[in-house]
């Protein structure tokens, strides 16, 4: 490679990384690039949002401590842990009903589901001032140089990452800060993590009907749990790792062949969907589609189990929906969104997730429970006649 090309590449990456920390000239150039890529013109971001965003990047766990103390309902952690247990039980019960899986693989799958380690809300150390201070030991902050603070952060982060190379992995280490509205499954540790940030509306609220909570955060929990058995997870194929997080084969050949037959149906289903005349890539999105479908099924079965134990909930007035229908509406509402054509195209090319519209329509059209509760006749748009089921 030409040395000048490599040099330009390195300089460009440095400029790209520091643009948001430089003056208006660089910010304007970045806005023009984003407008070309995504078709949207960035509105002027209020200064307080910029400050919060950069503080979140640099001092995420310190900010998380303030967030948890100010907003997080501690009982939500216990409730969420109970929901995960119920969803795990529902998933394992469904494992016992899979006709395509042999008994040896089924038992290994159940053991893996049992062994999934869950972390909810936030790590305890953020509420201990001394322990929190130790996390940022070595990070120098200047009161009057924002740019220098960002450079210090890059250097500090690099040193922290290098230091981790000399230490054994910790299962209790968080890869997301408490205020993050997201969740993840990590196959190398066989763990699922749900920060406090996602344990709020529209995903969850203590005063919401259980139907909405199971349809919201419950499906997210089922989604992350199903990543342990997917074909193309966010990090790598979850099903290839055992219950200890080791990359080793534990499937019998006949079950593996049957699994691939079932996933082929789902791959072809999502291949047929289009956004602005452009087809989805069913292979690229397969892992996330498996997790969406498995997560919805596990969460709904867990909700039914909750009803058997606690009895029917009071129905919401005026909405004209049963609580079972409300579960599916709650799931769909989580994905309400709008994207420009440019952004949609970029997502189709790069994103392992299907577009939000088809995360809803594709998943619901494979749900026998949804089709029954909404009375969708065979041949209708939501019930084309062939259901793709994996888990």
Catalytic choice (224, 231, 267, 288): 224
| pLDDT at res. 47 | 79
- pLDDT given for residue 43 in this prediction: 63
Contact 77, 120 (CB under 8 A): yes
Assess if residue 294 is contained within a domain: yes
- Whether residue 144 is contained in a domain is answered as no
**DSSP code at position 216:** I
**Beta strands 274-275; 191-195: pairing state:** unpaired
- Are 91 and 8 part of one and the same domain? no
Looking at the domain assignment, is residue 128 inside a domain?
no
CA 202 to mean position of chain CA atoms: 15
On whether both 230 and 310 belong to a single domain, the answer is yes
pTM of the entire structure? 0.83
Whether residues 116 and 15 fall in one domain = no
Clarify whether residues 14 and 98 are in a common domain. no
The answer to whether residues 304 and 247 belong to one domain is yes
Q: Is residue 157 part of a domain?
A: no
Residues 276 and 365 in one domain: yes
Q: What angle do CA 265, 214, 206 make, to 5 degrees?
A: 160
Catalytic hit among 191, 230, 231, 292: 292
133 secondary structure, DSSP code: H
| Residue 111 domain flag | yes
Q: Are residues 40 and 176 in the same domain?
A: no
86 is catalytic: no
**How many domains in the chain?**
2
Over the Cα atoms of the chain, what is R_g?
A: 23
pLDDT string in tens for the chain (391-residue length): 789 999 999 988 888 888 878 888 887 888 888 888 777 666 667 778 888 888 898 899 999 999 999 988 878 888 999 999 999 999 999 988 898 999 999 999 999 999 999 999 999 999 999 999 999 999 998 888 888 998 899 899 999 889 888 888 788 889 899 999 999 999 989 999 999 999 988 999 888 999 999 999 999 999 999 998 987 644 456 788 889 888 888 899 999 999 999 999 999 999 999 999 999 999 999 999 999 999 999 999 999 999 999 999 999 888 889 999 999 999 999 999 988 888 889 889 999 999 999 999 999 999 999 999 999 999 898 998 889 999 9
Integer Cα distance of 268 and 182 in angstroms? 28
Domain-embedded: residue 301: yes
Q: How far apart are CA 328 and CA 367, in angstroms?
A: 10
User: Domain for residue 308, yes or no?
Assistant: yes
Q: Catalytic site residue 128?
A: no
Where in the sequence is the domain holding 8, given as residue range(s)? 3-44
Domain presence at residue 387: no
CATH of the domain at 292: 3.40.390.10
Answer for the pair 174, 196: CB distance below 8 angstroms, yes or no: no
């Amino acid at each position: 490679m030409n040395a000048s090309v490599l040099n330009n590449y390195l300089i460009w990456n440095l400029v790209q990384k520091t643009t948001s920390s430089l003056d208006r000239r660089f910010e304007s150039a970045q806005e023009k690039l984003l407008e070309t890529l995504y078709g949207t013109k960035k509105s002027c971001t209020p200064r307080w949002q910029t400050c919060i965003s950069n503080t979140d990047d640099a001092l995420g766990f310190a900010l998380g401590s303030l967030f948890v103390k100010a907003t997080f309902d501690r009982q939500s952690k216990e409730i969420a842990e109970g929901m995960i247990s119920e969803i795990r039980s529902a998933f394992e019960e469904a494992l016992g009903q899979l006709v395509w899986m042999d008994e040896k693989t089924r038992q290994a799958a159940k053991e893996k589901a049992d062994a999934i380690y869950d972390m909810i809300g936030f790590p305890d150390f953020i509420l201990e001032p001394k322990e929190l201070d130790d996390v940022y030991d070595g990070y120098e902050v200047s009161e009057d140089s924002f740019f220098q603070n960002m450079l210090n952060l890059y250097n500090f982060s690099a040193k922290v990452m290098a230091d981790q190379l000399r230490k054994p992995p910790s299962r209790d280490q968080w890869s997301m800060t408490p205020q993050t509205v997201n969740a993840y499954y990590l196959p190398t540790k066989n763990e699922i993590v749900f920060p406090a940030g996602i344990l709020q509306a529209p995903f969850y609220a203590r005063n919401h009907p259980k139907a909405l909570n199971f349809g919201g955060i419950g499906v997210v929990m089922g989604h992350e749990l199903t990543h342990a058995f997917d074909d193309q997870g966010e990090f790598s194929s979850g099903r290839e790792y055992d219950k200890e997080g080791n990359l080793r084969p534990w499937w019998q050949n006949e079950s593996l062949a049957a699994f691939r037959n079932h996933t082929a149906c789902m791959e072809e289903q999502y291949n047929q969907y289009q956004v602005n005349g452009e087809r989805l890539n069913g292979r690229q999105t397969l892992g996330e589609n498996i997790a969406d479908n498995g997560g919805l099924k596990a969460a709904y079965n867990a909700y039914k189990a909750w009803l058997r134990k606690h009895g029917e909930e009071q129905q919401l007035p005026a909405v004209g929906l049963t609580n079972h229908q409300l579960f599916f509406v709650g799931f769909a509402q989580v994905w309400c969104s709008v994207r420009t054509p440019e952004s949609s195209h970029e997502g189709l090319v790069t994103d392992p997730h299907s577009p939000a519209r088809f995360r809803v329509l594709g998943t619901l059209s494979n749900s026998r429970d949804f089709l029954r509760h909404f009375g969708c006749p065979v041949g209708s748009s939501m019930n084309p006649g062939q259901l793709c089921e994996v888990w």
